[in-house]
Chain A
Amino acid sequence: MTEPTHEVGSSLVTIIRPHRGWAPIGLRELWAWRELTFFLVQRDLKVRYKQTAFGIAWALIQPLAMVLLFTLFLGRVSGIRPVDVPYPLFALAGLIPWTLFAQSIGASANSLIENSNLLTKVYFPRLLLPLAAAASHVVDFLIGLVLLAVASVVFGHVPGPTWLLLVPISLLGFLAAVGAGLWLAAINVQFRDVRYAVPFLVQVWFFATPIAYSSATLPDQIRPLFWLNPMTGVVEAFRAAVTSQPVDLASALAASVAVTLTLLVTGATYFRRVEGAFADVV
Chain B
Amino acid sequence: MSSDTASGRPIAVSVTGLGKRYKLGRRRERYSRLTESLSGWFRRPKSDDSAPADAFWALRDVSFDVVQGDVVGIIGRNGAGKSTLLKILSRITEPTEGQAVVHGRLGSLLEVGTGFHPELTGRENVFLSGSILGMRRAEIVRRFDEIVAFAEVERFLDTPVKRYSSGMQVRLGFAVAAHLDPEILVVDEVLAVGDAEFQRKCLAKMEDVSHGGRTVLFVSHNMASIEHLCSRGILLDHGRVAAVGTASEVVGAYLENVHGSEAVDLADRRDREGDGRLRFTGIEAQLRTGSDGYIRLNYRATQALSNVEVSVGLFTLRGEGVAYLGNAISGDALGEIPREGSLICRLPHAAILPGRYSMNVYCTSSGVVCDWIVGAADIDIAEGDFFGTGKTPPPGYGTTAMAHKWVAEPDSR
Interface residues of chain A, those whose CB is within 8 Å of chain B, are 1-2, 8-9, 11-19, 35-36, 39-40, 42-43, 46-47, 50-51, 117-124, 189-193, 276-277, 279-282
Contacts and interface: CB of A to CB of B under 8 A. Distances in A.
Interface string B28-52: 0011111001000000000000000
Nearest to A280: B93
Interface string B83-95: 0000111111111
A102 B133 CA distance: 31
A37 to B, nearest CB: 9
Given A12-B103, A46-B124, A1 B91 contact: yes
B407 to A, nearest CB: 59
B182 to A, nearest CB: 10
Interface residues of B, number: 47
Nearest to A190: B31
A177 to B, nearest CB: 22
Find the residue from A17, A47, A277 having the highest chain B CB count within 10 A. A17
Contact of A15 (B30, B99, B119): B99
Nearest to B29: A281
Find the residue from B33, B94, B95, B101 having the highest chain A CB count within 10 A. B94
Contacts of A1: 91, 94
A141 to B, nearest CB: 23
Contacts, number: 120
Interface in B263-310: none
Given A13-B102, A15-B99, A280-B93, A39 B34 contact: no
A118 to B, nearest CB: 6
Interface of B: 1, 22, 26, 30-34, 37, 87-106, 108, 110-111, 114-115, 117, 119-120, 124, 127-128, 131-134, 136-137, 160
A39 B92 contact: no
B132 A122 contact: yes
B164 to A, nearest CB: 16
7 contacts: A13-B101, A36-B132, A42-B128, A118-B115, A120-B92, A277-B94, A281-B26
Contacts of B134: 124
A212 B121 CA distance: 42
B34 A193 contact: yes
Given A191-B37, A280-B22, A11 B95 contact: no
Contacts of A43: 117, 120, 124, 128
B131 A36 contact: yes
A223 to B, nearest CB: 33
A221 B110 CA distance: 59
A46 B127 CA distance: 14
A234 to B, nearest CB: 29
Nearest to B102: A14
B161 to A, nearest CB: 12
Contacts of A42: 124, 128
Contacts of A118: 114-115, 132
Nearest to A14: B102
Contact of B91 (A2, A40, A50, A192): A2
B110 A122 contact: yes
Contact of A35 (B37, B119, B137): B137
B108 A122 contact: yes
A280 B127 contact: no
A16 B119 contact: no
A277 B21 CA distance: 11
B94 A12 contact: no
B128 A39 contact: yes
Nearest to B105: A12
